[in-house]
Amino acid sequence: HDGPIETDAVIVGAGPVGLFQVFELGLLEIKAHIIDSLAYPGGQCIELYPDKPIYDIPAVPVCTGKELTDNLLKQIEPFGATFHLGQEVTVVAKREDGRFDVETSKGTRFVTKTIFIAGGVGSFQPRTLKVDGIERFDGTQLFYRVRNPAQFAGKNLVIVGGGDSALDWTLNFVQEGPNKAESVILVHRRDGFKAAPASVAKMKELCDAYEMQFMVGQVTGFEEADGRMTSLKVTGGDGVTRVVPMDVLMVFFGLSPKLGPIAEWGLALERKQIVVDTEKFETSIPGIFAVGDVNTYPGKKKLILSGFHEAALAAFGASPYIFPEKRVLLQYTTTSPKLHKVLGVE
């Protein structure tokens, strides 16, 4: 795609509220593009508690974070929103013609009449390793996510972390296959893991077979030569620092949300939350709306059900920007032939 994508609505954030925003816009015949920095939709429900039960979605006595996300995706299917995942919205700027320029970290550009910020507690970013000077190797020898595993085949890897990502990648690089590394050392601060027990058992089995090594400890420093990291200093639970030669360091400390670029778009904020009215959930910039955990107003409660209500009113609030001539009336999905048509249930 060369030029920017022209659209009526861009939704920033594909958490539960951003997803339901697609539905509410869809009923008013407004097509949306939806963007998330995560590679998958669902926001906190998927990233933080996919298997935990939620009990306070109206008329759904119980469902997990994953089930809620799957059901929302099914519910918004008729509206054919375009998903742009794995990219953060970095730029939002007002244009002379009243519309907005929106740009993502991957360079996807939009020109849109309205924006719905459903950014929740922020975009999830990998937690970084705190070792002085090591950030210089980010993307060359230090990695927080694996995009192209084949690039690490035949290398000497040190993998840090104790969760599923650390264990899954360890197994991937140790076992026979196209990505098999020359050597793999897993480093975790304690001999206890927050990963699937089967993966932990498999890892221990591979250690017993001398296929890989596990060290209890923390990366506290590194050695370099000619601008390359040659080895890591790993300080063990016994207080002894050992030097571990390596080619590549992978760190999987999980993801933490950062409000990030949203704070730089000139919107009125209050304690890192976007101030909105409670009639349209519009921000201090006309045409930009904010819904879900990211907004604040008197009495705000960070609940999914509140976000759903906000999305409905924001859609009605945005309609005049898109259809200035049209009088939008409230219609029931139960009885409206027009809504049946947009829902595809005629």
Q: Which is nearer to ligand FAD, 13 or 161 (CB)?
A: 13
Beta-bridge partners for 53: 64
Q: Minimum distance between the CB of residue 343 and ligand FAD, rounded to whole angstroms? A: 22
For the chain, count helices (H), then strands (E).
7, 21
Q: Minimum distance between the CB of residue 19 and ligand FAD, rounded to whole angstroms? A: 7
Q: Minimum distance between the CB of residue 149 and ligand FAD, rounded to whole angstroms? A: 23
The response to whether 92 counts as a known ligand-binding position is: no
Q: Which is nearer to ligand FAD, 56 or 279 (CB)?
A: 56
Q: Which is nearer to ligand FAD, 14 or 219 (CB)?
A: 14
127: region left, alpha or beta (phi > 0 left; psi from -120 to 50 alpha):
beta
The response to whether 247 counts as a known ligand-binding position is: no
Any alpha helices (H) in the chain, and if so which ranges?
A: 16-27, 43-47, 65-76, 164-174, 197-208, 304-322, 337-343
- Positions in the binding site for ligand FAD (CB under 6 A): 12-18, 35-38, 43-45, 48-49, 54, 56, 88-89, 118-124, 260-262, 292-294, 302-305, 307
Q: Which of 13, 8, 85, 104 shows the shortest CA–CA distance to 310?
A: 13
Inter-residue contact 55 to 44 (CB < 8 Å) = no
Beta-bridge partners for 202: none
Distance from C-alpha of 72 to C-alpha of 93, rounded to nearest angstrom: 30
Q: Which is nearer to ligand FAD, 51 or 346 (CB)?
A: 51
Q: Which residue is nearest to ligand FAD (CB)?
A: 120
The response to whether 36 counts as a known ligand-binding position is: yes
Cα dihedral 75, 76, 80, 84 sign? negative
The response to whether 124 counts as a known ligand-binding position is: yes
Q: Minimum distance between the CB of residue 255 and ligand FAD, rounded to whole angstroms? A: 9
In the annotated binding site for FAD, the residues are 36, 44, 49, 89, 124, 293, 334
